[in-house]
Amino acid sequence: MKSRDIIKKQMSLNKHLVIVGAGHAHLMVLACCDEYVKRGHTVMVVNPSPYHYYSGMGPGMLSGHYRPQDIRFHIRKLVESRGGTFIDDAVVSVDFNKRTLMLSRGGEVVYDIASFNIGSTVTLERLSVAKRNVFPVKPITNLLKARHYITSLPSDKEPDILVIGGGSSGLEIAGNAWKLVNGLGRTAHITIVAGRRLLNGFPDMAYRIARASLEERGIAVLNEVSVSAIEDRSARLSTGKSLDFDVCFVATGVEPPPLFKESGLPSGKTGGLLVNAHLQSVAHPELFCGGDCADLIGQPLAKIGVYAVRENPILFYNILATLENRPLKIFRPQKRFLLICNLGDGTGLLLRGDLIWRGRIALRLKNYIDRKFMRTYQLSGEQSEVE
């Protein structure tokens, strides 16, 4: 074979990889995108911000335990330093027949292989939240806005802080809002409207321990109560009463963005892209997906970061294997996982299987795990940035 024929053959093998979203499940792909580039493939990353914030440390940023630069990755620098192209935009539609992604600002991106990790949004359909003092807990940057808002409130007023949602996120937000206000030398009236029950679905012991931590600080919990609407500085409750607030956090659970359903792609029960054990679309093998926006066929997974983190090496390997027509690896989610909630009082609530424990050592363990994870992928000088 002549040399020019070899070059033409090689060029025909080169593929265009588009990474959509810089969530937890994509961090290894992003940090190692030079592995794709040096094999002759082009890599483009589409994300609506140059940064990605790690949700596991978000409540700690709210309270001031972490700086913003402690919990974020500089995605643009990471990608561009490794030979990829970064586009500061969001994908609003997928044309899987033409293999084209439509962007929010009107452009288009063509792909051979695409992978999605666009996270999740707080479920807000029945709530009106277009108000400057209402903060959905996703995206995580909302917690930074909430911190600035709370610190700017008049110092002579004890603010009423409402947290809607009694899951682990609501628990952490309430505790760390207390820590923020306490650190300012002030007090606040904090209430969690928990829905069915605080930490519903968790063991009773976890509920009792979490409730005790909140009661020690005067944080109220309303079980068997939900919010039907958010009005002008008040929330209408399922009991018919209203609850006034100065600041409201919405932590009512998360769901994938509507991108996949609206694009006509097979979706799971939560609306995420329906993927097989290779984290590959069940209908379009050139599409991959991980994290909260994926629905694993036959095995629904909780929308928690531990699965996204474990998907990292599988997505990295399988994307490369697909580009080079090699066999794929299977993602096997662990049956038991470690969850540590930052209670905002200097302690953590640790849960792993039947092990449930609250203590300062638990919070130190969480801090160690989180900081180790950050060091793995903070490769672009994030710690030295000035906020």
What confidence score (pLDDT) does residue 32 get?
97
| Structural contact between residues 237 and 226, judged by C-beta atoms closer than 8 angstroms | yes
Q: Which residues contact 376 (CB under 8 A, 6 or more apart)?
A: 27, 31
In angstroms, what CA-CA distances link 55 with 58, 89, 303, 353? 5, 21, 12, 22
In angstroms, what CA-CA distances link 145 with 133, 244, 341? 9, 20, 22
CATH 3.40.50.300 fits 3-48+89-120+256-323, yes or no: no
Q: Which residues contact 117 (CB under 8 A, 6 or more apart)?
A: 19, 20, 21, 22, 23, 24, 25, 26, 289, 290, 291, 293, 308, 315
In DSSP terms, 324 is beta-bridged to: none
Tell me which fold the domain 122-254+338-384 belongs to.
Answer: FAD/NAD(P)-binding domain (3.50.50)
Residue 356 has pLDDT above 60, yes or no: yes
Tokens for 170?
A: 């609501």
Do 3-48+89-120+256-323 and 122-254+338-384 agree at the fold level?
A: yes
Q: How confident is the model at residue 129 (pLDDT cuts 50, 70, 90)?
A: low
Q: Give tens-digit pLDDT for 73-94.
A: 999 999 999 999 999 999 999 9
Exposure on the CB side of residue 109, measured as CA atoms within 13 A:
29
What confidence score (pLDDT) does residue 231 get?
84
| Structural contact between residues 318 and 288, judged by C-beta atoms closer than 8 angstroms | yes
What's the CA dihedral at 71, 56, 151, 248 to 10 degrees?
A: 140
Domain ranges of the chain: 3-48+89-120+256-323, 122-254+338-384
Q: Give tens-digit pLDDT for 38-70.
A: 999 999 999 999 999 999 999 999 999 999 999
CA-derived radius of gyration, the chain: 22
In angstroms, what CA-CA distances link 150 with 161, 200, 251? 9, 28, 17
Q: Give tens-digit pLDDT for 320-337.
A: 999 999 999 999 998 888
Distance CA 276, CA 266 (A): 11
